[in-house]
Structure 1
């Protein structure tokens, strides 16, 4: 009973933290649209429109995306957009988004706490990890600043996947279902993240074989069971992708290595701790990268986690010659799906958050009494909230700067949505009178490169 009560108290505490994280957003109840915003907002609006018409499932865009019937709902997961669409029945569009965002912050906090507690059996460290990992600047950049919402959702399940992989590859192989559940949730979130994590897990398996010179048969069986259960649980997304996308001559996002950043740029962005730049891992993670080696040297597991975090940190920068790989056909086919190497910040944030939680927990345990230790943890929570507010200040600054860019309805031939357009509950529907900023023509039939633009435009105009 005591154990249940402790878990219940922790859940309530994480819910309270989530409320503090999200309530501040409702002050202006406005959004500035950029990057992937109109793509995902249009997808949610299509689902909402279909639900209003008593159609549960959405496969093509007949209401948004200029009524072209594009099938991005078939090939880009939508399951976790449904809560947002349901919220549209009870709240204005801006509030519905903020509540949905809060739901995923709470989910990330909870899953991160559970994963770390399962790994370390230390509640203090688990709480510290959950807070650091959840409010990492790159995570907030995905969800609040650039609206890269598929990757934002996927971020939630990363701790569960690596916990499952740790158990299957090294620890308690009876918990193989953790890996299957985590990978299935990822498949319903963001397919590119599945591709990236699959490569990472493959690398971990190869490293284990090279270093330990073995991979036990019972662990191979546990891995096979995980893969089998993953395929079964996620068949709803895998089957349409295999039958209707592969080999069907449909367009998909361009491969390559864009928006590269130098190591110096990463450091400067991280010191500022802002979420307005995708280069930032945040000040806590940066300090951990610089000093973490001292705290992990007594444990081979913690040392390996720290090293992996540093590797991913380097992979996100031009310390890796991504520009040269752009000219390699083989590299483009294998790694080009990444598109933006800064995406490795998800994984550097995860592994360095583990090390940061170790460091901070060791420092907190230096306090001699439980009373002082609790005061120190409460102080950490307080400063994490203050740091979060500081990180998202750029959201409010952008709203103020966009006051002269209030989004009006587009009339006539469709044009791209203006960058940094300001929307509130009154003009929200004007979003759908424009072409989306990124992804309007993803999953169109392929056409000759030199004619692609006019071909895509002809489809849109013809169906208006």
Structure 2
């Protein structure tokens, strides 16, 4: 924020408002959506980088590279939304008169290039280990505007933007319209807020293939609340700063504002902490195939019991992509993998690993003759399979698991994930790129 406005007071206010936004706290303190929760921290860095490339100091392109890289390592969907936003900005700039994209496009190219360098180990494995079953490309978990408004007004942890940002969304335009830049920021924040609700006809979009296969990757429009918070927090900080500057006792008003922010934070979190203390602990699953119940407490004593349940969604995310698997943890083929079902010459049997380690699983089985084995291990190209110490050829089974041929007798099978040597070369490139980026941060005007 300071890179954008060059005002310490305004930057502190932005940080307080943005950090304590209810949806942010919901992701980390309540829902445990840690990837998106961490990515939320880096969104302002990416967006201020976009600002500098297209409107501000184009020599600060490294801010976009830094922010985008950190977001990519945290939450791929958030990075996808930022990329779409950049695409919209480029289109807008192309149709804007008296704007030459040529003078700034090189800064964008440098940011993209550095982002690729700093994240290349991730991209390489993501590509070569495919095809994988990516998360469902359709709009799910749609929020009513009424629900988001209620959560925001009550200022409680959940899918809301909080009281301060809600007031900003409602009246911010009255104060922002005088400055074109502030008005643009306000309208973008308001758009993201509206787009997070079911006011947008997402159910209709699910039936339009081109939209479903692109925008549908967002899955949950409620995620756009994070992006709304980035822009509305800028306007909120601007409005509060104007109020503070009207009073003579600015230090007192500033202190009271910070205290108010702290009180707002505790008003959000205390009810949830109180509720957490009343939640019962997770009990042992009474039968196989039960879906993990919601609102149960996990401790060191019952942590292992967690793995006796099926998760409600996402079980097959990043499984090997086959036509047989669906996005459901109760799909029979998915269940067969979870329950360690092995097929020996197409005959079903349960096979538990005798040893598990870091990227390592060992099986021991005895066959009466040469046999074809379908192990309950999801297939990835970099899996190294050995039988009795000898590396063997593996194939993909009909359920996307490891399929191999073994000889008669006792077979000690070891499966270990071993990335190719090129992955380690890319890791070195990424480390050097990060070091280079740190140097550019210290000397931004010499880049």
Is TM-score (shorter-chain normalized) higher than 0.5?
yes
Look up the match of 1:3. none
Q: Whole-Å Cα distance in 2 between the matches of residues 139 and 129 of structure 1?
A: 14
Deviation at 1:309, TM superposition (A): 0.7
1:341 is the counterpart of 2:221: yes
Look up the match of 2:296. 421
Q: Whole-Å Cα distance in 1 between the matches of residues 96 and 147 of structure 2?
A: 34
Larger Rg: 2
Higher percent of residues as helix: 1
Look up the match of 1:257. 139
Deviation at 1:357, TM superposition (A): 0.2
Look up the match of 1:439. 314
Q: Whole-Å Cα distance in 2 between the matches of residues 458 and 334 of structure 1?
A: 32
Q: Whole-Å Cα distance in 2 between the matches of residues 243 and 215 of structure 1?
A: 39
Counterpart of 1:226 (choices 107, 111, 119) is 111
Please give the residue correspondences for 1:389-408 in structure 2 after superposition, counting only pairs within 5 Å.
Answer: 389-403=266-280, 406-408=281-283
Counterpart of 1:353 (choices 217, 227, 233) is 233
Please give the residue correspondences for 1:20-419 in structure 2 after superposition, counting only pairs within 5 Å.
Answer: 116-212=1-97, 214-245=99-130, 248=131, 250-275=132-157, 277-278=158-159, 280-368=160-248, 372-403=249-280, 406-410=281-285, 413=288, 415-419=290-294
Q: Whole-Å Cα distance in 2 between the matches of residues 166 and 389 of structure 1?
A: 33
- Could you tell me the TM-score, scaled by structure 1's length? 0.69
Deviation at 1:401, TM superposition (A): 3.5
- Tell me the alpha carbon deviations over residues 60-88 of structure 1, each in whole angstroms, 9 at most, x when there is no partner: xxxxxxxxxxxxxxxxxxxxxxxxxxxxx
Residues 273 and 221 of structure 1, relative CA distance in 2, 3 Å threshold? same
8 Å Cα contact 1:411-1:433 kept in structure 2 = no
Q: Whole-Å Cα distance in 1 between the matches of residues 181 and 145 of structure 2?
A: 26
- Tell me the alpha carbon deviations over residues 322-378 of structure 1, each in whole angstroms, 9 at most, x when there is no partner: 11111111110111101111111011111100000000001001122xxx2111111
Higher percent of residues as strand: 2
- Tell me the alpha carbon deviations over residues 79-115 of structure 1, each in whole angstroms, 9 at most, x when there is no partner: xxxxxxxxxxxxxxxxxxxxxxxxxxxxxxxxxxxxx
Deviation at 1:414, TM superposition (A): 5.4
Q: Secondary structure at the match of 2:319?
A: coil
Q: Secondary structure at the match of 1:422?
A: coil
Deviation at 1:207, TM superposition (A): 1.5
Q: Whole-Å Cα distance in 1 between the matches of residues 50 and 14 of structure 2?
A: 18
Look up the match of 2:331. 453
Look up the match of 2:393. none
Of 449-458 and 386-395, more deviation after overlay is shown by 449-458
Deviation at 1:411, TM superposition (A): 7.2
8 Å Cα contact 1:133-1:349 kept in structure 2 = yes
Deviation at 1:220, TM superposition (A): 0.7
- Could you tell me the TM-score, scaled by structure 2's length? 0.72
- Tell me the alpha carbon deviations over residues 393-445 of structure 1, each in whole angstroms, 9 at most, x when there is no partner: 34224324423xx2234477454322211123333343234333432322223
Deviation at 1:122, TM superposition (A): 0.8
Deviation at 1:386, TM superposition (A): 1.3
Q: Secondary structure at the match of 2:331?
A: helix
| Corresponding pairs, count | 339
Q: What residue ranges of structure 2 are gaps of 5+ in the alignment?
A: 342-350, 353-447
